[in-house]
Amino acid sequence: MTGSAEDGQRTPGRPTSLLIDASIEAIRAADGHAAGVYLRSRTPGLLRMSVLAGLPGRLFRPWWRLHVDSPFPVADAHRLGVEVVLANAVDTMRRYPQFAAGLPFQFGSLYVPVATDTAAYGVLTVLRPSAADATELLPERERLAQLAEELAWQLGGVEDSALWWDGEPRCVRPPAPHASRRAGSFTWDPTTGAMTLDDRLRGVLGAAAEECGKSERAFASAAAPEDAPALLAALRDTAAGRPPPLPLYVRGAHGSLRLVELWESCGGVRDASGPGAVHGVVIDPGPGAAADAAADLLPEGVFALDRLGTVVYANPRAAELLELPRPQLLGRLLWDAVPWLAQPACEDHLRGALLSPEPLHCHVARPGARPGEAYDGDWLALTLNPGRDLLTCTVRPAHRVTEAPSGPPPDDSREHAEPAADPSMAPLYRPIVLAIALTEAVTARQVSEVVMRELLPAFGGRRLAIYLLQERHLYLAWESGFPQGFLARFEGIGLDARVPGVETLTSGRPLFFDSMQQLTDAYPGIPLDAAEGARAFLPLIASGRPVGSCILGFDRPRSFSTEERAALTALAGLIAHAMEKAQRYESEAALARGLQQALLPRRLSAHPLVETTGRYLPATQGMEVGGDWYDVVAAGDGLALVIGDVQGHGVQAAATMGQLRTAVRAFALGDRPPDEVLSGTNRLLIDIDSGQFASCCYIRLDPATGVALAARAGHLPPLLRRPDGRTYALDLPGGVVLGVDPQARYPVTRLVMDPGAVLALYTDGLVERPGGDIDDGIGALRVALAKNGALAGGPGGQSLSKLADRLTATARHTADRPDDIALLLATRRFTARRDA
C-alpha cells in the first residue's frame, strides 16, 4: 500500500476493501461516530492511518501518522498488544493528556490491536459517544476484538508487500442508520458487461432504467446524466481494484444530487480468474423534498454537510452569505468550495461538531473584514448542529462581534455586561501553546513559571498555587497572589483531609466554584483568603498516577463554561506530565551529580618531579552532569596522564565514565603501553554495550627523563608550552573514538617534556562555542597558556593551580554552559620537592 508523493494520489493495494469493511462494521458494532485502521509503514516505528470512515481526513491530518513510542492510545495498543478503552473525555484526559489536549471534545474511543500470534499489523479504532465507564462498553469491546481478529486473519492471507501503508488515508462515508426509501442497488459484471438493477433502483431511475441493462455506459448516463464520465470511470476503477474516494456525488435528473457507493464482491483479493463483480447503491433524496423546500424559504442561511465535509444541501440565503452560487456549493467539500472558511478556529469547531453532541457557535471573518471593525457584512455567525449523518449549519450576519477571534474585547465593550460574566481568552486559548512552553521547562519551578505566565492570563486568573504529592501528603511547590502565609496552614496536608485541593486529586475530578459562597457551602468552615472571587481546583494526574493539585484563583465571581472546564481539565493533564518529568529530572540530576562526584578522583597520584592539577566544571544546561573525566595514575616508575569525554549527559554518561576510568586505571597500574590501554578500554566499552562512545587521550610520562608516550582516541590534541614560552598544539596521530570499532588501532607518539614545560589536556567544553569554529577555541586556549604559563613552574614561578584557574576563569563565570569541562595540567619540576 504505497502512495505517490508526486501526483498526490494513492494507489490502493489489495486489502483496501478489507480495511474499509472492517472500519464500517466497527462503527455499527460500537455505535460509533467514526472508525479507522492504522497500519505499519515502511518507516521504522511509524504507524499510518490507512482508512478513516466517518470523518473528513483534512480536519484530522495531525493524527494521520503516529510513532509507536508516542503517548497516544493507538501507539500503546500496537506496541503493547492490548486493548485501550477510553470511556469519556475525563478518562482520556487522565490517561492521555496530549491526545485530550489536541481533541478536547466529549467523546469516547476504543483501540484494538490487529495482530496474530506471529505478526502485528496495526490497530482498529472507533470514536463513539461518551459512556459512564469502561464496563458499559463490554459488548462493544467483544465485538471489536472479534472484528480485529477477523481482519488480522484476512490480512495474513495477503502478500507481505501489500501490508504496509505509506500514503494518505482512504476516507469513506459511514453507513446510514436508516435506509432511504429512494435508494436502490445494482450489480455489474465487468467480464460479461451485464448490469442488474433491483426494483427500488428502477423506481429511482424511472423510465431511464430501461436502457441501463445494455452496458455500464448506459447505466452511467441514466444514473448521472450530468456526470456520466465520472461515474463510468469510478465503476471501471473499482473493477480494477482502484476504488475511488468515497462518497461519490453525481448529478441526477433535474440536477438533483445523488450519492453512489461502490465496492467489489471479492473484497479486494482477486485471483487469476479475473475481477469480481462490482456492487453499488444509488441514493437519491428526490427533487423538491419537503424539508429542502421548507429550508429554502428560511430568512437565515442553512446548509448541511455529510460526515466527510461535503455540502449536500444549501438554501439560497446560505449561498448568498457564502458568496457562491448553489451549484458550486453542492457536492463539494466545504473548504474547497469556500476556501476562506478553512481557518483554524472554524476547523476546530467543525471537529468538535463531528465528535461531540452539543451545538457549537463561532464567528468567522469574510474576505475583506478589517480587524477591530466587526460590523454587518464583515463577519458571519455560524452555528453547527451535530447529527448522526449530517451537520446542519446556520449562517447569519454578525451584527457586532463582541468577542473577536483575535483576542478579548476592549474594556468599553464590557460596559453593560453582567458582573458574573467575566470575559476571558479561554475559548480562544489553544492547549498547544501551553504544551510547547512546557517542553522547555525542566524543573518544577520552571513548570510553575510557565503555568503562571501562559495559563493564568488566558483565563483571567490572578492567583496560583501548585501542590505536589509526597508520601501521601501535599506540599506547596509554588504560590503567587495569595496573602502572605495564608497557604502555610495547608502545608503537608494528608490525603484524608476534606478540603478541595485534596479531594480533586483523590477523586480525579476538577472542582469549580463560581464564588466563595459556593466554596463555603460545599466545605463549611474552610479558611478563606478573600471575601469574593471564583476558584478552580484541578487534579494533576499523569498516566493514572497522582502528582498533585493546581489551584486557580479569580478576584471576582465568574462562571466556567463547558468549553473552559474541558480546556482546563486537559491542561491540568499537561501540567501533571510536565511536573512528573521535572521530578524525575531533579531526582536523576541529584543522582548523577552524586555519582560523578564519587567517580572523579579526590586526589591525583603524585611524583617528586611532576606537579599536576585538574578542574571540572559541569554544564549548566540539561542534566548539568556529563561524562568528562581526568585522572593521574601511577604507572610503574612513571605517571599516566588521562583525559576523556563520554558522549551525552546524565546518569548513563556518568556511569559509563566511571566504568572507563576504572578500566584505564587498571591497565595503567599494570604499566601497559598507551596503545594497549586504549585498545583494551575500547573493547570493554563495546562489550558492555552501553550504546555510547567516548574520546580519550592517554600519555605515559617518565618524570626522570621527560620522555612521554602518547596515544589518542578521537580526542582533541594536547597543548605543550615549552620553558621559553613557545606553545604548540601537539599533532598526535590517533584512532577512532572508543566504543565504535573493536579492531581499532591507536598509534603511539614519542615526545620529550623539558623541566618547566607545561602539558595541557582538555575536553571540548573548554574550547567549543555555539556557532564558532573549534580551531579558533583551541587557538585562544593556546594563547592563554602561552601568556600565563610562567605561573606554573620555573624559578620564581607560582602554582599550577593558579594557572588552571586562569585558563577556566571565563568558563567558570559563564552562566550558560552547554557542555561540561575538564582540564588536566602537568609540569616537570627542575628539582624534586624536598617534602616529596
What are the Cα distances from residue 432, in Å, to 13, 94, 104, 571? Answer: 36, 17, 11, 9
Confidence of residue 2 (pLDDT cuts 50, 70, 90): very low
Confidence of residue 36 (pLDDT cuts 50, 70, 90): very high
Which helix (H) or strand (E) segment holds residue 235: the answer is helix 228-239
Average pLDDT, the chain: 79
Which residues touch 802 (CB under 8 Å, ≥6 apart)?
A: 791
Q: Is 85 a residue whose pLDDT tops 50?
A: yes
| Structural contact between residues 535 and 552, judged by C-beta atoms closer than 8 angstroms | yes
Question: 316 burial class (0-12, 13-18, 19+ CB within 10 angstroms)?
Answer: middle
**Distance in Å from the first CA to the final CA of the chain:** 77
Peptide bond into 247 cis (omega under 30): yes
pLDDT at 206: 80
Q: In angstroms, rounded to a whole number, what is the distance separating the alpha carbons of residues 627 and 802?
A: 25
**379-393, 425-439, 626-640, 815-829: least confident range:** 425-439
pLDDT at 47: 92
pLDDT at 371: 44
> 178-214: per-residue pLDDT in tens?
444 466 788 888 888 888 888 778 878 887 778 787 7
pLDDT at 626: 65
Confidence of residue 421 (pLDDT cuts 50, 70, 90): very low
Amino acid at 731: D
508: which 3 cell numbers? 480525579
Question: 637 burial class (0-12, 13-18, 19+ CB within 10 angstroms)?
Answer: exposed
> 711-769: per-residue pLDDT in tens?
999 999 999 999 988 999 998 988 999 988 889 999 999 999 999 999 999 999 899 87
pLDDT at 212: 83
Count Cα neighbours of 786 within 13 Å in the Cβ-side half-sphere: 12
Q: Is 26 a residue whose pLDDT tops 90?
A: yes
pLDDT at 424: 42
**274-288, 309-323, 365-379, 468-482: least confident range:** 365-379
Confidence of residue 373 (pLDDT cuts 50, 70, 90): very low
* % of the chain beyond a pLDDT of 70: 79
Confidence of residue 255 (pLDDT cuts 50, 70, 90): low
Question: 344 burial class (0-12, 13-18, 19+ CB within 10 angstroms)?
Answer: exposed
Q: In angstroms, rounded to a whole number, what is the distance separating the alpha carbons of residues 774 and 764?
A: 8
CB atoms within 10 A of CB 300: 15
What are the Cα distances from residue 547, in Å, to 6, 434, 535, 541, 551? Answer: 48, 18, 20, 5, 14
198: which 3 cell numbers? 433491483
* % of the chain beyond a pLDDT of 90: 22
pLDDT at 429: 44
Q: In angstroms, rounded to a whole number, what is the distance separating the alpha carbons of residues 298 and 302?
A: 8
For cell 606554573, name the residue: 792
Q: Is 410 a residue whose pLDDT tops 70?
A: no
pLDDT at 707: 95
> 528-569: per-residue pLDDT in tens?
876 678 889 999 887 778 888 998 888 888 888 777 787 788
Q: In angstroms, rounded to a whole number, what is the distance separating the alpha carbons of residues 587 and 609?
A: 44
> 784-830: per-residue pLDDT in tens?
999 887 776 544 445 888 899 999 988 887 766 777 889 999 998 87
Q: In angstroms, rounded to a whole number, what is the distance separating the alpha carbons of residues 73 and 71?
A: 7
604-626: average pLDDT: 77
Question: 133 burial class (0-12, 13-18, 19+ CB within 10 angstroms)?
Answer: exposed
pLDDT at 256: 67
